[in-house]
Amino acid sequence: MRHYLSSLLHTPLNKWPRKIAGYISLRTKVLGEEALTRLGIMHRVPASLDVLLADSIGNHIPASPWLSKQRQVGRFFIGIHEGSFAFRQQFSVEAKSLLMAQADRICEHVFDILGSGPIRLGESIHWHTDFKTGYRWNPKTYYKRIRPAPYPGGYDIKVPWELSRCQHFAWLGQAYWFTEDEKHAQEFVAQVRDWIESNPWPWGVNWTCTMDVAIRAVNWIWGYYFFEQSPSLSHEFRLAFYKSLLVHGRHIWRNLENHGDFTGNHYLSNLVGLVYLGIMCPAFKEAHQWRDSGLCELENEMFKQVYADGVNFEASTSYHRLVLEMFLSATILAYRTGYRFGQAYMERLEKMVEFIMYLTKPDGTAPLIGDNDNGRLHRLKVWYPPEREWVDFRYLLAIGAVLFQREDFALAAEDQWEEAIWLCGKDALEFKQRVKQSECPPLCLKSRSFPNAGLYFMRHGDSYLAIDAGSNGQQGKGGHAHNDTFSFVLQAHGKDWIIDPGMYTYTGDYNERNRFRSTSFHNTVAVDGQEQTPISSSHRDIFRLPDLAHPKVICWSSNDEYDLFIGEHYGYKRFQPPVVHRRTIFFDKLRGIWLVHDRLVGEIQHRAVVTHLHFSPDVELQSSIESESSIFVCSHENTKLLLVALHEQPLKPALRIRDGHISPGYGLRQAAYQVIWEWPKASQEFTFAMAIDPPTSTSFEQITFAHRRYREVKTYELGC
């Protein structure tokens, strides 16, 4: 009721009657469903289920046609079925050691989830608890009465959800595959039994979000097929396991997240869950319906959720990674059973992988543009250091290389083949070996634009700059977008310099969520301390960011000598008088110098204008070498980045260095420097240069030459 009253206060008076009526109707429906469920009238499991499962599974003897078919599709999960010496040799000693240590921690109930750090949960896992704060959701509450985003914050519902995704089951299974140590199988059985007993359908927090129900079903299936032949899996356990999977499937089917103005990654996960259950559990009465509907809708969603240039529509690189992982996993599973998607679907899926290739920086990591909640479908590798998992997407390139037979994808994947091998089996081994023997020339990626998504990549050698000029996504709803229009990230000489701070939390701290998605938390220009698009303080809007900036790219030109980007956005046109921000970024490839020119079009007198830059935690900012405002140096080990404000006297920008924060993964927060350049009063434009070079007179001469070259190029490209 408290949440509803808060929502009502933010609603215009003329809409109150309709909102109140809708609330009463919904509450009546939910309470009615809960009452019928408690009486055992609604959604009862048929009495014949045990007979069906017993007949299908039997005593695990491959006599029935269903079980024979089950074993055939089960070969998608290669763990037990491809146990050759050559296959095992593909995994390094280090990878095996990391896996065994992780499996041991799981057996001891030690989990590191969403930035918690390793925490021992005790003999019994409390599946309904945010163990980071100790808050516990009532396990006897009807699932529809639990709010997905409790307010006020301070505890995070994602913690029990993430734990109950059971993505650690694959690690237990992999450890069993290497060692055949029954302690891993016994732990799998114990945790599944405990979860089923602690989470009876439909009560508690772990049935609230259908996405998490679907991801859990996928990971239960992955875990099961590693342990399929283990003597620790009794006949009674298999019956309970499949009965719960049936309940999972029916819950997903009844609670599809396809309502509202658009469908997104939640609905996609629902479909992937149905595809997995429909293919891997063909004895279920609804299996064909789940499989056929899931595959058909999966193909439809490709063209709803992915732009023509292959980028996911949610304005987040991390969500592109999650969505691509779901598409690839379901597609490969379907292919294993003989299903074929349409050509247009496969072409767009290939473009999604291609985007990952250009998104990836020279050091193998990806910028965290937009939201990041560490979302994965399944986790088939143990990463070290752990936070590397949230910024390294190259395993998707290896999977895409096998699926599309692309050598450039394979080269870009470098050494990240472990997940592809688990997912694609011998196909991955054969393609990887073929590429290795073909002696392909080193991959040399050029600059590239993705205009539908509004992402532009300037590349030359080991220099990389990415510009965000996209809309807020989700058809203007901006659920995972940030106020980052014309923000950029810079990497050179294999080192991060200017970065996107990422996303620290969602409901765990509403103020921090809004701070990390604010304009000042991105490498762009803020006017009068205002947002490019206003951020609502209401808890109802933590997944909303209206598309008011409407960025427009005026020029994008790229060749062997330079890249030129010019764009403008209209987020400040709501000011009186209105202001338009135009940003130009020029990359002189011959000299390794970037020029960033910002111009405000409109009346700006008496306005405070600030350019924000956020630096990697590894970067040290040194004092100015010539003046306090125009030149300063940052260092990263033995490399230096020279920043020069190209302003003529006496109009000099004021430079300030602040302590800031960045988030390398959900729930993680690190200290880092933030540089703020305050524009001179009444100045309509500001230009600064960046050069990876020791601060010598030669550097300044090169910057001056690059600035002159920039003016020539701009005149030529714009014809003015």
Give tens-digit pLDDT for 496-547.
999 999 999 998 899 999 999 999 999 999 999 999 999 998 888 899 999 9
Boundary of a domain, candidates 255, 270, 296: 255
For residues 141 and 201, the answer to whether their CB atoms sit within 8 Å is no
Select the more confidently predicted residue: 14 or 548: 548
pTM above 0.85, yes or no: yes
Please indicate, yes or no, if residue 333 is contained in any of the structural domains. Answer: no
pLDDT above 50 (res 121): yes
Cα dihedral sign, 196-197-202-208: negative
pLDDT above 90 (res 489): yes
Residue ranges making up the domain that contains 236: 46-255
Q: Which two tokens stand for residue 308?
A: 């023509």
Asked if 209 and 230 sit in the same domain, the reply is: yes
Select the more confidently predicted residue: 695 or 659: 659
Asked if 23 and 75 sit in the same domain, the reply is: no
Query: What's the angle, vertex CA 678, arms to CA 674 and CA 679, rounded to 5?
Result: 145
pLDDT above 70 (res 490): yes
Q: Which residues pair with 111 in a beta bridge?
A: 119
Cα dihedral sign, 42-47-53-59: positive
pLDDT at residue 94 in the model: 95
Give the CATH number of the domain where residue 464 resides: 2.70.98.70
Q: What is the mean pLDDT of the chain?
A: 88
For residues 217 and 267, the answer to whether their CB atoms sit within 8 Å is no
pLDDT at residue 452 in the model: 97
Please indicate, yes or no, if residue 389 is contained in any of the structural domains. Answer: no
Asked if 200 and 60 sit in the same domain, the reply is: yes
pLDDT at residue 90 in the model: 82
pLDDT at residue 18 in the model: 64
Boundary of a domain, candidates 232, 255, 278: 255
What does the radius of gyration of the chain's CA atoms come to, in whole angstroms?
A: 27
Q: pLDDT tens across 556-594, in order?
A: 999 999 999 999 999 999 998 899 999 999 999 999 999
Please indicate, yes or no, if residue 646 is contained in any of the structural domains. Answer: yes
Asked if 22 and 164 sit in the same domain, the reply is: no
For residues 264 and 314, the answer to whether their CB atoms sit within 8 Å is yes
Asked if 17 and 94 sit in the same domain, the reply is: no
- Return d(Cα 172, Cα 222) in angstroms, integer: 10
pLDDT above 50 (res 79): no
- Return d(Cα 533, Cα 482) in angstroms, integer: 9
Asked if 590 and 514 sit in the same domain, the reply is: yes
Highest mean pLDDT (candidates 396-400, 490-494, 672-676): 396-400
The total number of structural domains that make up the chain:
3
Please indicate, yes or no, if residue 276 is contained in any of the structural domains. Answer: no
Asked if 24 and 157 sit in the same domain, the reply is: no
Cα 701 to the center of its chain, rounded Å: 42
**Lowest pLDDT segment from 330-344, 576-590, 677-691:** 677-691
Please indicate, yes or no, if residue 397 is contained in any of the structural domains. Answer: no
Asked if 38 and 85 sit in the same domain, the reply is: no
Please indicate, yes or no, if residue 480 is contained in any of the structural domains. Answer: yes
pLDDT above 90 (res 174): yes
pLDDT above 90 (res 151): no
Which residue, among 372, 396, 367, has the nearest Cα to 665 in the 3D structure?
Answer: 372
Asked if 76 and 87 sit in the same domain, the reply is: yes
pLDDT at residue 604 in the model: 75
Asked if 23 and 63 sit in the same domain, the reply is: no
Helical packing angle, 287-305 and 265-280, nearest 10°: 150
Please indicate, yes or no, if residue 229 is contained in any of the structural domains. Answer: yes
Boundary of a domain, candidates 214, 230, 255: 255
With 0-12 / 13-18 / 19 or more C-beta atoms within 10 angstroms meaning exposed / middle / buried, residue 431 is buried
Residues 6+ apart with CB under 8 A from 232: 182, 185, 186, 188, 189
Asked if 64 and 94 sit in the same domain, the reply is: yes
- Edge-to-edge strand order for the sheet containing 525-527? 525-527, 609-614, 670-678, 654-662
- Return d(Cα 211, Cα 137) in angstroms, integer: 18
- Return d(Cα 633, Cα 644) in angstroms, integer: 9
Where does 108-234 have alpha helices with state H? 158-163, 169-179, 182-198, 210-226
Residue 710 parent element (H or E): helix 697-718
Asked if 610 and 675 sit in the same domain, the reply is: yes
Please indicate, yes or no, if residue 52 is contained in any of the structural domains. Answer: yes
Select the more confidently predicted residue: 276 or 707: 276
